[in-house]
Amino acid sequence: MTDSGDTAVTAGLRDRLWQAVLDGDAYTTTDVLRQSLDAGLDKETLLLGLVAPVQEQVGLAWAANRITVAQEHAATAANERAVTALIPAASARRRQRGRVTVACVDGEWHAFPARLVAEVLQLHGWQVDYLGPQIPVAHLIDHLHRTGADAVLLSSSIPARLPTAHAVITACQAAGMPVMAGGRAFGPDGRYARACGADRWAADARGAAAALEAGLRAPGPAAARQAVDDLPHLADQEYTMVVGARSRLVEQTLTDLEKDAPAMQLYTDVQRHRTAEDFAFIVDFLATALYVDDTDLFTGFVTWTADVLEARSVSARCLPPGLDLIARQLRDFPRATALLREGAAAVAARPRPGPGETAPGPGGVA
Amino acid sequence: MVDREGRIVEANDAARVLLPGPAGDDRASEDLPDWLADAHRRMVGGPGGTHVNALYGTIGERLFEAHPTPSSDGDVVWWLIDDTDRRLAEASLRSEQERAAILSEVSSTLLSSMNVAHCTEATARLAAHHLADAAVLVSPAQGRRFPLTHARAGGPVTQAVRTVDPATVPGLVEALQGFPPAPTQWINPDDIPAWAIPLGFAGQVGSVIVTQLPGHSEPNGALILLRAGTGRAFTEGEEAFTRQFAARAGAALSAARLYSEQARVTATLMRDLLPPDLGGVHGVEYAGRYRAAQDDQRIGGDFYDVHPGADPTRESLVVLGDVAGKGLDAAVLTGKIRNSLHALLPLAHDHEYVLNLLNAALLTSHHTRFATLVLASARRQAVRVRLRLTSAGHPPPLVVRADGRVEESRTSGDLVGAMPTVSARTEETDLAPGETCLLYTDGITEARGGPLGRELYGIERLKRDLTGCAGMPAEAMVERVHMLAAQWLGRGRHDDMAVVAIGAPKSGAPTVVNGDTRPRNTHQRQRRNP
Amino acid sequence: MTTPAPEFGLVVTLMPNVLIVEVTGDLDHSTRDRLVRTVVTHLTPGTVVRRLRLDFERLTWIDSTGLSALLMVHRHARALGVGLRLDSRPCFLDRLLDLTGTSAYLTAPVEAVDGVSGSEAG
């Protein structure tokens, strides 16, 4: 979403916005944005050249443990409020291009990128129905039938929601609607969007606008299909089994770790709970990597988890043995054990980042 | 029997009928059809004993299979077998298969969408592609105007609403009536008015038929199919096929109409049951969020409202509650409670009294479905927010202090709607800038899940998680709590979950930013006017 | 922790003038009607039963619809002059009754209708 070509955005402006957002101060945030508009910044540059990069910085700062979860939420809320206050509702604007629906994958909390896409498309003359986060698939489909949108833009930032995203994509297409996917969850080059059969992938809001202007063809009757038609490896049931065994896997891994690592027996309930959560996330990502059959997705997540843990001064030492313990429970699943082996190797081989250099995570741990 | 020179030297009666010519048996080879004459020449001209397989060709309008039997003197006896009927049967079978494939495509295309405009567009497009050179779909009238959809084979589909007289197309009025069923009509191309010819239609209109799109006895539209002058006329078989096409398109269109109508009714009835958008009122921040128990529903047994005070010196009343039960039944009862409380607003200075009146209004002999709720009266005083909190059988509100302490309010009281009278104790507290009071339903605290699967989230864990939320704006805290509960749940089933935060702003003017800080959301259009 | 809750079940014991219903499992949205139906079937006008005892020894969970069932049972019993007792209450049930202010109401002694309260046999 970042576009460094927006030279009109000065570093000073960005710093002021960053500070206001960091304080969770919607009033000052709104003031900074209003002054930028008054100074002649156009709305699209404001959204994509100023608001979006600052929002991305918020995520990076959290991953590097420079701000708390509370600050992250407050910052996002401040940004969102300011955008609402400054960009008038679309009703007054001319709409000659057509009507699109912008939605997040159900279970998605990072709705702000979708919100920015919705605003930018409105600026480009589209009539946009922005459905926000936490929209059940049934509502989305109902909305499409009622409004007869020309296309659906689906945003997701959490790769663990990819199986759900896939279900949403096929459901929209079965309803005769072309789907454009975007957001971090779909991979840096959109490879998971293709794996899930999306009609198009867009790297950012401007890309989405350009793709819409080029036109999206409505899918034919052949679009009605099942997950395994797109992803034949699902036939091996490994994904289904791992999802079903999630709680058991986590519980057994913790029990085994405590046996092997006496230090863990001294953990407080809170620490034990956090560790359980970390492994629950790992199992979620393992399942997702099995779903899209992609090793990078899993190794990327475990190395990122290791970085985040260390940014919070928690040793990532229990990660490789933990991965090994999960692998032992899944020894009958060749794809899963291979992923876990790769994951452990990636954690071990990872270069140590200095403080503040933590790479942006694939999201999920919040 | 044909001799070396290709002369017919002998023919039986059937052959004579088939190859009429001058009397006598000796006739020139010109009398033979070309394909047979060629084969004959090849046979007699080739090296001895050249074998020629059976071959096919037409004579007049019919198709024949020809088998040669050479005789020793060089003559050839050609046995002609009439093959027309078998070929026709095969061709019609092939086209039957094609038609079945087309109908199946039509059905899957049309049934995938429940949107009337999309179905109409697809019907016109498919009709122009498979049945004719162009198609015009006339939808049921809207007053005196008719939505018209024009399509040309390979061309764009255009939709417009126009005032036209359907009587100018013979048979169209009947077809548009929906009932009784109107037969398909062939129409004189000269009778077609200009509005029924798609723009860009090349050449003269050659043949036209009008067919009804049958629905559930109500008007469902009609289809006008046009072929160019040079094109073929519609055959009887094609007319039958058109009827089958129209039956499928009509079924899909009337299903889409029914769905739209029901969706409209549902949306109307639902509007008052959806949770409202909240924002800043009289210098106090409010935020609310709701998640229904059934993930395919938007309403359920939890509810909340903020009723702004008449002016900034008056208290605003916040209500958050939970009706025993789930889904539509529970939602209807929440509607009743919300309306009753709205009517009781003038008495809101006495929470216990309001609760007793509400209790009396809800008591019925039919059931003991009760509600638990929290009433919160909030008023900005300088930089602080004064709060009066009353729980009616509801989990106590939590106050997140600036230093991260989380206090459980000590208000308590009886649930409403099941006992003859109720009592309740109101607690007063203040919020300093940046502090927040959180109201929630037990769907949050009774969320079952966690990394190990079946644990309750619980009030203690909620309080611990909230200590990390000190200083958060109301909007962010509400989102945070929902997110914590959702993560705790994982894929687990859950009850309705509602959260409302009342916050004392950290800084800034005591009025809201730009007059309206409520989020835009197409699902939450409702504004409750106090 | 991951052991599944036991199946919902009701065991009814009818003594000369006491009806005992033992409740096993979760009393919630999906099971509440069975409790109400069972009580209504066994307590009909003119019943000789003077006291209804609900035994919650093996209750695993109760939600608000379960509580509304208890209120319905209470109302039905009262109308027939039958006293209600909630026995062996797990702590989550007590917490719910306390929170909703229904504890005293549900367990208040029935005004002596005909003086037989407390005369339950063995």
Residues A285, A302, single domain; the answer is yes
User: Minimal Cα distance from B330: which residue of C?
Assistant: C65
Return d(Cα B126, Cα A206) in angstroms, integer: 34
Where among A197, A230, A263 does a domain terminate?
A: A230
Mean pLDDT of chain B: 84
Of A326 and B19, more confident: A326
Residues of A in contact with B267 (CB under 8 A): 146
The least confident of B269-278, B341-350, B433-442 is: B269-278
Just give the CATH number of B13-82: 3.30.450.20
Cβ atoms of C28 and C66 closer than 8 Å? yes
- Please report which confidence band the pLDDT of residue C119 belongs to, taking 50, 70 and 90 as the band edges: very low
Residue B154: CB partners within 8 Å, gap ≥ 6? B129
Contacts of C1 in chain B (CB under 8 A): 452-455
C67, B370: Cβ pair inside 8 Å?
A: yes
Reply yes or no on domain B87-268 having CATH 3.40.640.10: no
Q: Domain range for residue A38?
A: 1-87
Tokens of B323: 């009706």
What is the least distance, in Å, from the CA of B430 to any CA of chain C? 24
CATH of the domain at A43: 1.10.1240.10
Fill in the amino acid letter for A221: P
B13-82 and B87-268: identical CATH topology: yes
Please state the domain extents for chain B.
13-82, 87-268, 272-514
Q: CA nearest B398: which of B458, B446, B440, B456?
A: B440
- Quick: pLDDT tens for A135-160: 788 888 888 888 888 899 999 988 88
The torsion region of residue B44 among left (phi > 0), alpha (psi -120 to 50) and beta comes to alpha
Q: Are residues A8 and A122 in the same domain?
A: no
Nearest 10 degrees: CA dihedral of B29, B32, B34, B38?
Answer: -60
Q: What is the CATH number of the domain that holds A259?
A: 1.10.490
Count of A-B CB contacts under 8 Å: 156
Tell me the chain B residues in contact with residue A176 when contact means C-beta distances shorter than 8 Å. Answer: 109, 112-113, 118, 122
Q: Note the Cα A242 to chain centre separation in Å.
A: 22
Cα-based distances in Å from B189 to A315, B139, B206, B213, C33: 84, 21, 6, 21, 69
Tell me the C-alpha distance between B8 and B497, whole Å: 96
pLDDT means per 10 residues in chain A (366 residues)?
A: 54 87 84 87 87 87 80 84 74 68 82 89 90 81 86 90 90 89 90 92 92 84 78 89 89 86 75 84 92 92 86 77 90 93 89 50 38
| Homologous superfamily assigned to B272-514 | PPM-type phosphatase domain (3.60.40.10)
Q: Which residue of A26, A243, A280 is in closest CB contact with B451?
A: A280
Helix (H, G, I), strand (E, B) or coil at A142: helix
pTM of the entire predicted model: 0.73
**Confidence class for position B198, pLDDT limits 50, 70, 90:** confident
Residue B524: pLDDT above 70? no
In words, the CATH class of domain C9-107 is alpha beta
State pLDDT tens for residues C10-39.
Answer: 999 998 899 999 999 999 989 999 999 999
Same domain, A209 and A335: no
Is the same domain home to A60 and A149?
Answer: no
- Answer for the pair A343, A327: CB distance below 8 angstroms, yes or no: no
Are residues A107 and A215 located together in one domain of the fold? yes
Number of domains in chain A: 3
Distance in angstroms (rounded) separating the CA atoms of residues C95 and A275: 31
Residue in C closest to A250 by C-alpha: C2
Between CA C54 and CA C58, with CA C57 as vertex, the angle to 5 degrees is 105
Interface predicted TM-score (ipTM) of this complex, two decimals: 0.84
Whether C46 shows a pLDDT value over 90: the answer reads no
How many Å apart are CA A301 and CA A299, to the nearest integer?
5
Measure CA of the first residue to CA of the last residue in chain C; give whole Å.
37
Shortest distance, CA B464 to any CA of chain A (angstroms): 10
**Residue A216 counted as domain residue:** yes
